[in-house]
A and B are shown apart, each in its own frame.
Chain A
């Protein structure tokens, strides 16, 4: 009896030991021995790549180094940033203007770097605003948002800002189909099928980067999700994934998941250009803004536009073609040769790969399977190169290494899978932590990928870092993909929520003519003071303009009297420094906006309406020098209607001598 009992205990113990040893090893084991060495960039040493990561709901764009994962800068784009005065200084306010007025926040999902001949060229990086549809262009000489264009007839600019191989166009596809702005939008929501339309926008990019909405293509109402341009042989075509071809307007989770296949829409944009030239575009009356930053006046302007040319995809039969793609496709990625188009059905357990040559053949020989909303539907098999079988669950995005391999992320099975584009064989898989969304290989969506690192941007963080309450940092992982097997080398937290990211060799951007400071001689700001002699305070009615200068370590003027309660005071602060890395800041007590952060040679303006009489201190917020704490001044505010005259000075307003 006793013996049996001991045996039983022993059996249970042995069984549970076996059971626990069967449990998969945890993530700590996934790191190989030399990982630290591979991701280590010594103090004072530079990273190999710049990584431009979308900030998601932060609305900004963050810049990291690879392989160290170090954060260098957060560039304000679509959201206000009181730290840098973005959206708070008078000069930057027009950048965030829209046809709906000033919009202080947006959701930046994707970044795309400019290309020449299909290769990343290091001039600009584009970003999309997902909520109030816009595209921004960030200048990589200044790492500053240089231009923002709004997109009419759109809701949720998601399949954006992808570009053609010579940056001829940057595109946008509406995620929400909506009634066009040029038609009455006051309709019942359940009239989606009749009244809701999709619009995809082609924004022309000029030599200096200037954007211009060249035309839009109107399509049946669906959700456009992601896109990529053809390249090489498929240059001239653009591919957009779309879902909700069920045209549901409620409970999309269920109602937009009914059809076995949705579409990838292939757009012949060269043909569309011909139609525009031939005058087939219909002028539609819309409202959208175009905001530009002027580096000479250090000021943005916002221009309202009233018209857009629209091409009808259904009427013009040969610009758009629908390729069936399983299960609500999300990612739509084109390999470096331009021959293979990878669709990723969010709910699919396979990855379809389409062939551009076969697609062209199918179109030529009219291998169609009817129409969808007037657009020809190409037969699935006729365009298919093949399917990757059992790659994982929930494929989302694919990037390429330029060596014939594709890397696809899987949200549901939380992994990256490497497969051979031609043979469609799965070669390797690594787990991500956790539920990866986008991935990035430097140049990974261009003709010339730099297949050394792969970064996975995850949607779930859980236990990856020290806990910080309910709200956690997002997690990203870097893998070394230079060998046959992918190796995890680093885990790093990111700001906001990263979606798509781009990366380029550091040299390309470091040596693109990086600006160190603005030349004061070229400063054409209407309120610039090019020296302390030009500093002054001028009252016009209840408007008070202060031409102020800052140089280590004082403001001129730093004593101002004669301001009254209710005045509109504008501090136009010019940073007189002409040296690298000597910004000055400006803040005044009680100002109900942000601070100014002024780069050498720049002028920025803070508006302040004093509400109470008294003495109001102001100071430099950027630790500029050994005597930074001395860089301060006072504004005396007198009651409204008082007769204290405007006076201002630097160093001369001394106490009256006592006799």
Chain B
């Protein structure tokens, strides 16, 4: 019971999971699309593992009207830590192929899910911070109005519609979690060596 080795298929899935973690380093994880009458072409904020990308300069320029703080990659410790976290996840996925213990895979899955929950809380916290902590001398002040973008989904913020959804990297991370879950499911439910 203790020493059940995972199957070959699971190892392949783990390899793919590792590659997905590596891949997620190079593409944006999350995007907040903004649309307004004046921006028929749309604006987009892209959150990479290591930086804020997209039309960040233009968005910073616009945010001064409502007194929102400007966004700068260097102000977020997350962008320094996340690349290492993903690197570690990738390494663990590969190591698990050699360790090949299903318990270890389960432990990793739980860790990963915990990480996702923490990341979501962190993302919400920043959204709240930027959306509420406004300069009281801003040109546009709408009583009771906050500009917190949605954690996920759509929300109207004055003339801007904000649409917050995963980007390529986000989908890769989702896929990685799903694959880990599959491995666990396979090893615990469908393993003949039980």
Residues of A with Cβ closer than 8 Å to B?
551-553, 577-580, 625-627, 630
Q: Please give, as numbers and ranges, the residues of chain A lying within 8 Å of B65 by CB-CB distance.
A: 552, 625-627
A471 CA to B139 CA in the complex, in Å? 47
Whether B57 is near chain A, meaning CB under 8 Å from some CB there, is yes
CB <8 Å contact, A551 and B61: yes
CB <8 Å contact, A579 and B61: yes
Q: How many of chain B's residues touch chain A, expressed as a range?
A: under 10
For the complex, would chain A's binding face be called helix, strand, loop or mixed by DSSP majority? loop
A627 CA to B138 CA in the complex, in Å? 12
CB <8 Å contact, B41 and A580: yes
Residue of chain B at shortest CB distance from A579: B58
Q: Given A626-B65, A627-B65, does the pair A578, B139 have CB atoms closer than 8 Å?
A: no
A627 CA to B57 CA in the complex, in Å? 19
Beyond known contacts A551-B61, A578-B58, A579-B58: 7 more, CB 8 A cutoff: A553-B139, A578-B57, A579-B55, A625-B65, A626-B65, A627-B65, A627-B139
Q: Enumerate B47-74 residues with CB–CB distance to A below 8 Å.
A: 55, 57-58, 61, 65
CB distance from B172 to the nearest CB of A (A): 31
- From B41, B55, B61, B140, give the contact of A552 (CB < 8 A): B61
CB distance from A654 to the nearest CB of B (A): 13
Q: Please give, as numbers and ranges, the residues of chain B lying within 8 Å of A579 by CB-CB distance.
A: 55, 58, 61
A69 CA to B140 CA in the complex, in Å? 41
Q: Please give, as numbers and ranges, the residues of chain A lying within 8 Å of B55 by CB-CB distance.
A: 579
A577 CA to B62 CA in the complex, in Å? 11
7 pairs, CB–CB < 8 Å, chain A vs chain B = A551-B61, A553-B139, A579-B58, A580-B41, A626-B65, A626-B140, A627-B139
A625 CA to B62 CA in the complex, in Å? 10
Residue of chain A at shortest CB distance from B43: A579
CB distance from A553 to the nearest CB of B (A): 8
CB distance from A5 to the nearest CB of B (A): 75
Q: Please give, as numbers and ranges, the residues of chain B lying within 8 Å of A551 by CB-CB distance.
A: 61
Residue of chain B at shortest CB distance from A44: B40
A625 CA to B65 CA in the complex, in Å? 10
A552 CA to B38 CA in the complex, in Å? 14
Residue of chain A at shortest CB distance from B159: A626
CB distance from B129 to the nearest CB of A (A): 24
Nearest first, the 8 closest Cβ-Cβ pairs linking A and B are A579-B58, A627-B139, A578-B57, A552-B61, A626-B65, A551-B61, A578-B58, A579-B61
A333 CA to B140 CA in the complex, in Å? 62
A47 CA to B145 CA in the complex, in Å? 42
Q: Please give, as numbers and ranges, the residues of chain A lying within 8 Å of B58 by CB-CB distance.
A: 578-579
CB <8 Å contact, B61 and A577: yes
CB distance from B139 to the nearest CB of A (A): 6
A580 CA to B61 CA in the complex, in Å? 13
Residues 69-105 of chain B, each 1 if its beta carbon lies under 8 Å from chain A, else 0: 0000000000000000000000000000000000000
A580 CA to B41 CA in the complex, in Å? 10
Q: Please give, as numbers and ranges, the residues of chain B lying within 8 Å of A625 by CB-CB distance.
A: 65
CB distance from A523 to the nearest CB of B (A): 15
Q: Please give, as numbers and ranges, the residues of chain A lying within 8 Å of B139 by CB-CB distance.
A: 553, 626-627, 630
Residue of chain A at shortest CB distance from B41: A580
CB distance from B187 to the nearest CB of A (A): 53
Residues 24-43 of chain B, each 1 if its beta carbon lies under 8 Å from chain A, else 0: 00000000000000000100
Q: Please give, as numbers and ranges, the residues of chain A lying within 8 Å of B57 by CB-CB distance.
A: 578
CB distance from A235 to the nearest CB of B (A): 43
Greatest chain A CB density within 10 A among B61, B139, B140 is at B61
CB distance from A253 to the nearest CB of B (A): 56
Q: Please give, as numbers and ranges, the residues of chain B lying within 8 Å of A552 by CB-CB distance.
A: 61, 65
CB distance from A164 to the nearest CB of B (A): 39
CB distance from A515 to the nearest CB of B (A): 15
A630 CA to B64 CA in the complex, in Å? 15
CB distance from A267 to the nearest CB of B (A): 49
Residue of chain B at shortest CB distance from A626: B65
Q: Please give, as numbers and ranges, the residues of chain B lying within 8 Å of A577 by CB-CB distance.
A: 61
Residue of chain A at shortest CB distance from B40: A44
Residue of chain B at shortest CB distance from A551: B61
A380 CA to B3 CA in the complex, in Å? 105
A409 CA to B139 CA in the complex, in Å? 60
Q: Please give, as numbers and ranges, the residues of chain B lying within 8 Å of A626 by CB-CB distance.
A: 65, 139-140
A552 CA to B60 CA in the complex, in Å? 12
CB distance from A197 to the nearest CB of B (A): 56
CB distance from A558 to the nearest CB of B (A): 15
A627 CA to B140 CA in the complex, in Å? 10
